[in-house]
Structure 1
Amino acid sequence: MIEAVKFWNEPNNKSHWDFEIDTDWSRFADMVKLSAAAVKAEKPQLTRVLGGISPIDASFIHRLQQYDTLRDIDAVAVHGFPLDWNHWQIHEWPSKIAEIEAATNLPVWVTEVGVSTFGAEEVQEFGIRRTAELLRGRVPRIFWYSLYDLPRAWEATTRHREAEGSSYYRHFYMGILREDGTPKLSMKHFADYTPEMGICQWFHFEDHRLDEAVEWLKRLGVRYLRTGLSWADWLRPDAERWFDRVMKAIEPFDTTVTFCFTPEAKGIAPHHTSPPQNNQEFADFCVEMMRRYA
C-alpha cells in the first residue's frame, strides 16, 4: 500500500517551513537525516523521498548535500506550477528537471504539478495535456495536483492569504473536480494519462470527500496516489480512528505518504511550519506511522 515516504513538504517555501527560525536549514537537515535513517531501519524496502521543493532550486539541493542530508534518501522531489506562480514557462519543464539532476545523482520525482482554473477551465485542459507530453517518460513519478478544488470555506496554506490577491485565490481552483464534486473540462482527458500520471490529494482531518475521492481515483485508472499524514493532526482527539480510516480507504493505490506539519506544542514557535523543538520526536512519529501502516 505504501510505496514511498516523503519527509516534509516544500521545505524551501516559507508557507511550509519557517526559515526565519531555521535560517540556514540546519535544523531541517538534521530532522530529515534522523527521520530517513529511522524509516530505513524500520522499513528498508520503502523509497525515501526528500520533500518536494518549491521553487525548483538547485542551490537548495547543494546546501542540503553540504549537511549530508541526503545520505539515506532515495529520490528528491520538485513542485512546479508554471502557469500560475512560477517565473518560468511550461515548456521549460525538461530544463528544470535537468537543473536538479545536475545537482544530485538521485532520481527526480515531480510530486506536485497543476494548473488552476481561476481564469478559465480551458487553461487547465491545455496544462494537463502539455504537462503529460513533457514529463511522462522523463521522470519516475508525476503527481497531478489535485483531484478536488479546495473548499472556499477552508484556508489555503500560504503566508499572507488574501493579501496575495489573485495568487491566493488560485489555490482554490487546482482540482479537476469542482468543490461540489462535478467534473471540469479537463476531467475527460485525465484517464488518457493514467496510470503513469498519479494524483496528489491532501485529505484534511475528517475530510468529507474521502470515500467519493477513492471512487473517482478508481474510475480514472489512478495507480499512484500522494497524500499526507500530519504530525499535528496525530495529536488531535480521535486521530487514530481517522488515520486508520484514511489508510484503509487508500489501500488499492501505490501511495506516497508525506510526513509534515509540526504540532503547535512541539514547535520552537507555536505554528505548523515551525522547526520542532526536538527533531527526534518527528522521527519517532515517522516510525510510528511505518509500524502502523506499512
Structure 2
Amino acid sequence: MIEAVKFWNEPNNKSHWAFEIDPEWRIFGEMVKVAAEAVKAENPGITRVLGGISPIDPHFINILKSYGTLDNLNAVAVHGFPFDWNNWSINEWPNKIAEIEEVTDLPVWVTEVGISTFGAEEVQEFGLRRTAELLLGRVDRVHWYSLYDLPKTWEATTRHREAEGSSYYRHFYLGLLKEDGTPKLASKIFSDYTPEFGICQWFHFEDHRLDSAIEWLRRLGVKKLRTGLSWADWLRPNAAQWFDHVMKRLDEFDTTVTFCFTPESKGIQPHHTSPPQNIQEFADFCVEMMRRYA
C-alpha cells in the first residue's frame, strides 16, 4: 500500500520540530538515520525520503549530511508557498530546486506546494498553472497541497500563530475544494496536470472527509497521493482499526506516507513537535507501519 516513506515533516520549521530542545538537529539527524536504516532492513524496496523542509535551506541539508542522516535515503523533499508565506517569487522555483541539488546528489521532490484562496480563487488558479509549468518535468515528484480546505473549527498545525497575524488564516484556504466540498476554480483545471501532479492530503484521526476525498481524487485523475501516519495517533484507542481502514481505502493510489508527530508521553516535552526521549521507539513505529502496510 506504500510506495515511499517520508521521515517527519518540515523538521526545520518550529511548527513541526522543537529545535529549542534540539538546536543543532543532532537528535533529529540521529532519529532519521536510525529509522531509515530500520526501514531499509525491513523493506529495501521502499523509497525513503527526508521529510519536506520549509524553508528551503541548503545549509540545513549540509548539517544533516555531516551527521550521516542522508546515507540511507533515496530523496530529499522541499515545501514551498511563495504566494502565502515564503519571501520569494513563484518564478524562483527552479532556483530553489537548484540550491538543494548543489549540496546533495539525491533527487529533490516537492511534496507540498500550494496557493491559498485567502485573497481570491483566481490567484490559486493562476498559481497552479504557473507551478505546473515550472515544476513538472523539473523534479521527480510534485504534490499539490491540498485537496480540501482545513475546517475552520480545527486548528492549523503551527506554533507560529501569534507571530503570523492574518497570515495564520491562509492555512484554512489551501484546498482545491472548500471545506464543504464545493469546488474552487483551480479544481476545474487540476486534471489537466494529472497523473503527473500528485496531491498531499492529511487525514486526521477518524476524519469524516476520507470517503469523499477518495471520490474527488478519482474524479481529478490523481494517482500519486501523499498523506501521513501519526505516531501520536498510533497510541490512541482504536488506532489500528482506523489506520487499517485508511490504508485499505487508499490502496489504489501510489501513496507516499509521512511518519511524524511524537506522542506526548514519549517526548522530552509533552508535545507532538518534541524530540522523543528514545529515538529507537520512532524507528520501531516506522517498522511496524512497514510490516502492516508495505
1:162–1:169 Cα contact (<8 Å) kept:
no
Give 1:275's aligned residue: 275
| Aligned counterparts, 1:1-294, within 5 A | 1-161=1-161, 164-294=164-294
Q: How many angstroms does 1:60 deviate by?
A: 0.2
Deviations 1:185-234 (A, max 9, x none): 11100000000000000000010000000010011110100000000000
Q: What is the CA distance between 1:162 and its match in structure 2?
A: 5.2
Supply the distance in 2 between the matched residues of 1:75 and 1:164 (Cα, whole angstroms). 31
Structure 2 residue identity aligned to 1:155 = E
Q: Structure 2: which amino acid aligns with 1:89? A: S
* Deviation of the 1:2 alpha carbon: 1.0
Distance 1:163 1:35 in 2: 33
Q: SS state of the match for residue 273, structure 1? A: coil
Report how far residue 160 of structure 1 moved.
3.5
Letter in structure 1 aligned against 2:254 = D
- Structure 1 length as normaliser, TM-score? 0.99
Give aligned-pair identity as a percent: 78
Deviations 1:150-198 (A, max 9, x none): 0000000111425522210000000000000010011100000000000
1: CA distance between counterparts of 2:291 and 2:98? 36
List, as ranges, runs of 4+ consecutive aligned residues in structure 1 with deviation greater than 6 Å: none
Between the aligned partners of 1:146 and 1:23, the Cα distance in structure 2 is: 30
Runs of 5+ consecutive residues of structure 2 not aligned to the other structure = none
Deviations 1:64-84 (A, max 9, x none): 001011010000000000000
Count of matched residue pairs: 294
Aligned with 2:52: secondary structure? coil
Task: For residues 89-121 of structure 1, give each alpha carbon's deviation from its aligned partner in whole angstroms, at most 9, with x where no partner exists.
Answer: 000000000000001000000000000000100
Unaligned runs of 5+ in 1: none
Residue aligned with 1:116, SS: coil
Q: In the superposition, relative to structure 1, how do residues 99 and 160 fare at CA in structure 2: closer, same or farther (>3 Å)?
A: closer
| Letter in structure 2 aligned against 1:279 | I
Partner SS state of residue 24, structure 1: coil
Distance in 2 (alpha carbons) for counterparts of 1:42 and 1:207? 29
Q: Secondary structure at the match of 2:64?
A: helix
Q: Partners of 1:152 and 1:228 in 2: how far apart?
A: 21
Measure the CA separation in 2 of the matches of 1:108 and 1:43: 22
- Counterpart-to-counterpart distance in 2, 1:152 and 1:163: 19
Instruction: Assess if the C-alpha contact under 8 Å between 1:13 and 1:55 holds in 2.
Output: yes
SS at match of 2:49: strand
In the alignment, the residues of structure 2 paired with residue 160 and residue 102 of structure 1 have an alpha-carbon distance, to the nearest angstrom, of 30
